[in-house]
Structures are given as structure tokens and as C-alpha cells.
Amino acid sequence: MVRENLYQSVEVFYLTSENCSRADKQFNFFEFFYVLSGKGVHVVNGNRIHFKEKELFLLTPNDRHSFEVEEFSEFLIIRFGQHYVAEFQWKSIDHMECVLFHASHLSESILKNSEDNEAVASLMQYLLQIQKGDNLYKEDLIRHLVNAVIVIAARNISFIKPEKIAQNVDEKILRIIDYIQVHILKPNLLRVEVIADHFGLSKTYIGAYFSKQCGESLQQYISSYRVRLIEHRLKFSTNRINEIAEEFGFADESHINKFFKRHTGVRLKSYRGQHREVNLKSN
């Protein structure tokens, strides 16, 4: 596996499938890659996701990925370090780094609506034009455009937060949500008493506190987020059920099936089969 490092705060560059390495890579930075043209398969942390034109993907630090290109493809790549988002003075999103890390277990395109899709397409074309040229204020223009892409991405990623989260949510709640999503594959670290102890709160208080701020209980949020990720594995990966169970810390296939059916009404194999039929009809 190849590990790549970032030596500037922001880098933007153009790649094609002819000069894009398909080897398994791991980064120490965030990377957006935008598909200008072409199609193929993007393999992220073992999950296989088909990509096509006008899709935006986010890789977080320590993700592993590689490409399997089906036809000539063009990409615009944006790389930026953790310190860049941590130090930038965002006006309304105080924890941009935290928001971006919320995508750490997801792999599909992060654009969720057509308006954002078209906005990012325009931004990427302008970025490509500036990156290829020698424009006045080139570096400043690139940073402003990259910031716009980051904010749009963050807005789309934020959909995975609790829907009823308070508008002026406490900073500690954002840190609790971040903690849950970072440790979602480690059930022993997601027990209420462990989370409470980590944040210096009592076991009884943290439950009431989270419910008031987010409109759902702590356990409801943990379960719904875990279900979302399991659904993602069933849709996009070829991992066997017992492998998914092991990844999410379940004792065996029976336990994960009971958990999944309790929250969705269907067993994992049935869910995967339904979505494979939908994918076949749409292709």
C-alpha cells in the first residue's frame, strides 16, 4: 500500500485515468475527487462504489482507496490538511473538521441534491480553468473556490446528524456526535457510561442532555447511525454478512440480523437483494 503526504495547505490538480495510479493508497489529509468525465469503480476501505460524471467523493485521513476505470476518465483533485479546516474562520460552521470526519465511514458521492450538484459542477470547471492557467491572484481564487466546495460538502454531510438537532447546539454535543461516529465500529466505546465518563458527565445527565439538544435519545442516534452504515455496506460492498457483523462488533451473523431487522423490518440478505434488483433495473 502506498502512503501519500501533503506538503501544502491546499493542492488542486487535474488527473486522467491514464496518469492516475490505481494502486491501493492511504493519505494523511482530506481529499475531494470530482469526476469530470468517465466511469468506473472506486474502492474505499474494501467497499466498491461505481462512479460517474459529476459525482464528488470525499476521502478522510487514513482511508484506503484505489480505482478500477471502465473508460477514459477525468478527475479534479482537491487536497487539504486537517489544520486548514481547523484554523479557517468559518462563519456559521464552527467545527468544519468535525463535520468532514462525519463522512469517515461513508463512500458514495456526497452530493445529495441537484442544486448542489450543478453548483459544484460550475465551481469545478472554474477551478480547472484557473489551475491550468497563470491567472492574477491565482492562489487566492483557488482558496475561495475550494472553501465554497468544502462548505457545500459539509452541508450535504450534515444530513447524517440528528434531524431535530437544535439550531444553536452546544459545542459539546458536536463533540459527542463526532466521538460516536469515529468509534461507531467499537461498541464497547459506545456504552452510555463510557461516553459520559469520556466527556465528564453523569450517566443520567448525558441522556437527558442529548435528547434535549438532538430530539432523540443517545442510543437511538447510535443505532440509527449504525443501521445507516450497515445499509451502506449492503448496497456498495461485496462483503459477506459475517464480515459485516465482525466489522461492526457483533458476535455473529445472527446478532446483526436481529439488530438490523428490529430497526428496518427486514433481514440483511433481503435488504441486499432488494437493492441489487433496483440497481439492475436502473442500469
Query: Is the domain of 18 the same as that of 109?
Result: yes
**Residue 166 located in a structural domain:** no
Give the pLDDT confidence score for residue 91 in this predicted structure.
63
Task: Look at strands 30-37 and 74-80 and give their pairing.
Answer: antiparallel
Q: Is residue 219 situated within a structural domain?
A: yes
pLDDT at site 95:
55
The verdict on 103 and 154 lying in the same domain is yes
186 and 156: one domain? no
Whether residues 136 and 212 share a domain: the answer is no
Residues of the domain holding 227: 171-282
Whether residue 56 lies inside any domain: the answer is yes
Task: Indicate whether 165 belongs to any domain.
Answer: no
Q: Quick one: pLDDT at residue 201? A: 94
Q: Give the mean pLDDT of 114-120.
A: 91
Predicted pLDDT of residue 79: 92
Q: In this prediction, what percent of the chain has a pLDDT beyond 70?
A: 81
For every residue of 19-62, DSSP letters joined together read TS--S-EEESSEEEEEEEE--EEEEETTEEEEE-TT-EEEE-TT
pLDDT recorded at residue 181? 80
Mean pLDDT within 158-176: 70
Asked if residue 12 is part of any domain, the answer here is yes
pLDDT at 3 over 60: no
Cell 468532514 appears where? 100
CATH number at residue 37: 2.60.120.280
Q: Which of 49-58, 179-188, 207-216, 256-265 has the highest mean predicted lDDT (pLDDT)?
A: 256-265
Q: Same structural domain for residues 137 and 214?
A: no
The verdict on 152 and 227 lying in the same domain is no
- 225 and 261 co-located in one domain: yes
Band of residue 67 on the pLDDT scale cut at 50, 70, 90:
confident
Cβ 99 vs Cβ 156: under 8 Å: no
Q: What is the mean pLDDT of residues 155-169?
A: 66
Contacts of 118-126 spanning 24+ positions with Cβ under 8 A: 119/152, 120/34, 120/54, 120/56, 120/149, 120/152, 121/54, 123/148, 123/149, 123/152, 124/34, 124/36, 124/76, 124/149
Q: What is the mean pLDDT of residues 32-50?
A: 87
Mean pLDDT, the chain, as a whole number? 83
Percent of the chain with pLDDT over 90: 39
214 and 247: one domain?
Answer: yes
* Domain match, 150 and 187 both: no
Q: Of 139, 160, 181, which one is at a domain's C-terminal end?
A: 160
> Could you tell me if residue 135 is inside a domain?
yes
| Domain limit, last residue, from 133, 160, 187 | 160
- Residue 217 sits in a domain of what CATH number? 1.10.10.60
pLDDT digits (tens, 9 = 90+) for 190-212: 999 999 999 999 999 999 999 98
Residue 60 near residue 101 (C-beta atoms within 8 A): yes
Q: What is the mean pLDDT of residues 28-41?
A: 90
Last residue of a domain, one of 129, 160, 191: 160
pLDDT for residue 102: 57
Range with the poorest average pLDDT among 31-45, 99-113, 130-144, 183-197: 99-113
What integer is the mean pLDDT of 215-242? Answer: 87
Q: Could you tell me if 181 and 104 are in contact, meaning their C-beta atoms sit under 8 angstroms apart?
A: yes
188 and 87, same domain (yes or no): no
My answer on whether 22 and 104 are in the same domain is yes
Contact 90, 98 (CB under 8 A): no
What is the arithmetic mean of pLDDT over 242-264? 94
CB 70 within 8 A of CB 195: no
Average pLDDT over residues 15-22: 75
Q: Residues 180, 152: one domain?
A: no
Report the domain count for the chain.
2
